A and B are shown apart, each in its own frame.
Chain A
Amino acid sequence: MSSPREPRWKEILTERLPERAGDIEGLMSDAPDRLVAELRDDPDMTRALVEADARHVLEKWFSPRAEETVVFTDGRVGAVGDQDAGAEWVFAGHHDQAEVFRGLPATGRPVEVHGFTVVATGTDEEGRPIPVFTRHIDWAGLYAQLGLTINWRVPLDPEPDG
């Protein structure tokens, strides 16, 4: 009987930091405050965790395009504010999977998704502390790469009766 497959983010984390992935997972579940504090001083760990989070979902929509699927901006990985950590990144993929991204047919186009992720300490639905990820993603830029446009006709509410 085969064991159930690990979540994709765990696979990526293990690929990136094979000797530390177990310890990081332990911190995520047992000491998220300490995890985030360590991320602020450990760019390698921040990159690995942010990449695992981003690729976990983006690879459901886009096939990885490059050897380095996620590239980080030099000088923009590390401490954010007084308590959090974060990183600016670019994901490179191909839009070659049909109907998984908002129902679109596969365009085959190369895409670059630009984002900045902040890792902080939050709580889960039962109030237990967990690391939480806030992703600021350039969705409009991604949509433009897929040829999608905004309809530039502003919808107006009805005038009051007069």
Chain B
Amino acid sequence: MSGGMPYYLEKGPVLTLIETYVNRPEPGKRKLLGALRDAENTPDSPQWVLDTLPELWADHAFTRAPNITTHIIEHWFGLHHEGGQWAPPDPPPPTTGEWIGYKGDVNAIVRRTLRWALEVSLGLMPGDEGPGRPDPALIELFWLCGFNWFEGWVVQRPAGPGSRVVSVIFVTPPHRGAEVAKSPVAHVDGTMAGASAHAVPSREDDYEIVTFPVATTPLHPPRPKAVDRPFGTWVVTHGRHVTPDELPDNTTPAPIGALNDPPNLAEYTGVDPVVVLSPSVPAGGVPYDGVVKVVQR
């Protein structure tokens, strides 16, 4: 949803912005919930994306990504703009939007996921028209990419006395052009600055590696130490993953009855020491202070 997704899990600038606006007192979660409930009266329409939080898409951070809503509706929901309205392509394609090997009503899943997250946050069962809790739970958003089908997860938990957090996790199939970095460690300055046209881990804003023991060099630009960052998405894994030098030949001649084992297709070995790092914002991480400066596509 951002300019690229080199990690399996992403929040990135777009989801950070969405959760920022969803959690603002204005227009407020009760009003957003009402809009999403109303939107279900026209279930095939994606108009709710445009209408529910218009001030979100007008945020100056989207200056360099003016077509983000079109991207969501076309590439996520699989709808085309024809004759002044959004509609499924005719004839219907074998898959939805940009997803590989998957066909489904992503519009309905995303809308219902967000609706249910707001209902949980407000403590309102479906159909309950009450005002909801005066202190609705904070909502946070994540995206995991590379699974067989599309799911929205709404996870609620206590977050201190009388307080809760609602985590929304979109679990999606891979999309066209998707890649994943074998190493979480950034080697270049820009997410899209690599030799290839693919997104890669970068040293851009808010990228941070934690060293064990901790390094004494100051952070540039200055920011709170890792454990004091208000926002962070830390990945803990090997510094690099490699495939075997030689892939097995699945057709090696053999004596009768000595059939080769069925291939695994891909095998990875974690090498290099385990690292702890928070990706840069353009590569799918989060700004340490929660403030998104720019979204690029």
Contact = CB atoms under 8 A, between A and B. Distances in A.
B265 interface: yes
B189 interface: yes
B194 interface: yes
Per DSSP, are chain B's interface residues mostly helix, strand or loop, or mixed?
Answer: loop
A130 B255 contact: yes
A10 to B, nearest CB: 9
Interface in A143-162: 143, 149-162
Interface in A116-162: 120, 122, 124, 130-137, 139, 142-143, 149-162
B223 interface: no
A17 interface: no
A149 B147 CA distance: 9
Interface string B177-207: 0111111010111000111101011000000
Contacts of B155: none
Contacts of B187: 158-162
Contacts of B241: 155
B256 A154 contact: no
B257 interface: yes
B253 A132 contact: yes
A102 interface: yes
Contacts of A137: 250
Contacts of B255: 124, 130-133
Contacts of A143: 265
Chain B: number of interface residues, binned into ranges: 35 or more
Contacts of B185: 158
Contacts of A9: 256-257
Contacts, number: 113
Contact of A102 (B174, B198, B264): B264
Interface stretch (A36-44, A50-58, A69-77): A50-58
B213 interface: no
A93 to B, nearest CB: 13
A91 B256 CA distance: 17
A139 B251 CA distance: 11
Contacts of B163: none
Contact of A158 (B146, B182, B254, B262): B182
Contact of B195 (A28, A133, A160): A160
Interface residues of A, number: 42
A135 B257 contact: no
A137 to B, nearest CB: 7
Interface in B219-266: 240-241, 243, 250-260, 262-266
Interface centre among B100, B258, B262 (most CB of A within 10 A): B262
Contacts of B240: 158
Nearest to B193: A162
B253 A153 contact: no
Contact of A159 (B195, B263, B265, B268): B195
B145 interface: yes
Contacts of B101: 149, 152
Contact of B253 (A7, A52, A133, A139): A133
Interface in A58-105: 58, 61, 101-102
Nearest to B263: A139
Given A102-B262, A155-B182, A158-B200, 6 more contacts: A52-B257, A57-B257, A133-B258, A136-B251, A156-B196, A159-B188
Interface of B: 6, 100-101, 145-146, 148, 173-174, 178-183, 185, 187-189, 193-196, 198, 200-201, 240-241, 243, 250-260, 262-266, 268
19 contacts: A56-B259, A120-B253, A133-B255, A133-B258, A134-B251, A135-B259, A139-B265, A149-B101, A151-B174, A152-B100, A152-B178, A153-B179, A155-B180, A156-B180, A158-B185, A159-B187, A159-B196, A159-B200, A162-B188
